[in-house]
Amino acid sequence: MKFHVEVRIKLKKGMLNPEASTIQRALALLGYSVEDTDTIDIITFTVDEDSLEAVEKEVEDMCQRLLCNPVIHDYEVSISEMEG
Amino acid sequence: MKFHVEVRIKLKKGMLNPEASTIQRALALLGYSVEDTDTIDIITFTVDEDSLEAVEKEVEDMCQRLLCNPVIHDYEVSISEMEG
């Protein structure tokens, strides 16, 4: 079965996010006043596995080993079975 | 009223995405076989405006002027009113 996987990665609360600060400052320079700017990275892919449980385990491994840095990132995984 | 804004930015179909290719290759090197890897950037912020329509117009302007490059990016905006 094919599964569609979406991993949503953001910096843990309290970590400095220079990208978000830069965006907020640039918006302010253009005259837009916004607050609490934050950025989130999403990685999506499809994976072919026998069961949802197998995908969950595999994606958790990928996050720990490569996709995220557990010291500074929080992440959420969502998995959905694909049609066909 | 305060509104929470989320702008979801991705490369248009057909654009090369070296970040996604690198992730997919790195996963393959670790033994994970995945396909159709893609990346999406999300920018979130809060904005204080009188009406939803005003926010929609303002965020559309921000996207065109700063947040996105309309030549290479597709983007989706979602806006929700915040409690309190």
Average pLDDT per consecutive 10 residues, chain A (84 residues; last block may be shorter): 96 96 97 97 97 96 96 97 84
pLDDT at res. B2: 95
- On whether the CB atoms of residues B41 and B76 are closer than 8 A, the answer is no
**Chain A residues lying within 8 Å of B47, measured CB to CB:** 32-35
pLDDT at residue A22, rounded to an integer: 98
Residue B64 backbone phi and psi in degrees, to 5: -70, -35
What does the pLDDT read at residue B70? 93
- E strands, B12-72, in order: 34-48
Q: How far apart are CA B41 and CA A73, in angstroms?
A: 15
Q: What is the pLDDT of residue B72?
A: 96
Confidence of residue B3 (pLDDT cuts 50, 70, 90): very high
- For B22, the 3-state DSSP assignment is helix
Domain ranges of chain A: 2-81
Tokens linked to B52: 């939803």
pLDDT of A71: 95
Whether the pLDDT of residue B59 is over 80: the answer is yes
B5 touching chain A per CB within 8 A: yes
Radius of gyration of chain B (CA): 17
With CB atoms and an 8 Å threshold, state whether A33 touches B48.
yes
CATH 2.60.40.10 fits B2-81, yes or no: no
What does the DSSP 8-state code read for residue A10? E
**What is the reported pLDDT for B83?**
83
Q: What percent of chain B has pLDDT over 90?
A: 98
Cβ atoms within 10 Å, residue A12: 11
Tell me B66's DSSP state: I
